[in-house]
């Protein structure tokens, strides 16, 4: 994963794609900071975690900018999300998530909202590449 990011960084430099270059520079910096904090070189799974965190930050910012009608920033952030998403494994579809939630309900047989954590854990083990916020929303709906 590190090699792919480094190669894409070099390509962006060669093609003088300043936008991609700045996004990749920021990503490399975030990965480096996480490696320093963890005191070891990150493996692919940890790098994917860093990328997911960066995408989530941008998605949250998009929502805030939309509230204040700052459409230029929204467009820029969406481009950044698209670039970062290229490094992430494909997310589970809504149908796959619903299917996993139904299986988790069969396994755990929840009685109240107190069981939500157990359901989330079960669904995460079945679909590690699922959007956690969507899973949470769907589990809450099903519990209510």
* Residues 82 and 62: beta-carbon distance below 8 Å: no
* Residues 105 and 119: beta-carbon distance below 8 Å: yes
- Per-residue confidence at 10, pLDDT binned at 50, 70, 90? very high
- How far apart, in whole angstroms, are the C-alpha atoms of residue 20 and residue 98? 35
Burial class of residue 110 in the structure, from the number of CB atoms within 10 Å of its CB (0-12 exposed, 13-18 middle, 19+ buried): middle
pTM: 0.76
Q: Strands, E, within the chain: which ranges?
A: none
- Per-residue confidence at 118, pLDDT binned at 50, 70, 90? very high
For the chain, percent of residues with pLDDT exceeding 70: 100
Query: CB-based contacts of 133: which residues, under 8 Å, 6+ apart?
Result: none
**Rg of the chain (C-alpha set):** 18
pLDDT of residue 138: 93
* Residues 7 and 86: beta-carbon distance below 8 Å: no
Span 7-20, average pLDDT: 96
């Amino acid at each position: 994963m590190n090699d792919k990011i480094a190669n894409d960084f070099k390509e962006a430099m060669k093609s003088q794609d300043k936008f991609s270059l700045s996004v990749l520079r920021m990503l490399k910096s975030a990965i480096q900071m996480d490696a320093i904090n963890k005191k070891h070189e990150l493996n692919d799974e940890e790098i994917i975690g860093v990328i997911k965190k960066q995408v989530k930050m941008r998605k949250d910012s998009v929502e805030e900018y939309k509230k204040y009608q700052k459409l230029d920033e929204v467009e820029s952030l969406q481009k950044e999300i698209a670039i970062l998403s290229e490094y992430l494994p494909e997310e589970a579809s809504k149908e796959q998530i619903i299917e996993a939630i139904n299986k988790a309900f069969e396994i755990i047989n929840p009685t109240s909202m107190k069981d939500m954590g157990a359901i989330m854990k079960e669904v995460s083990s079945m679909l590690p590449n699922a959007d956690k916020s969507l899973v949470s929303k769907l589990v809450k709906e099903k519990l209510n």
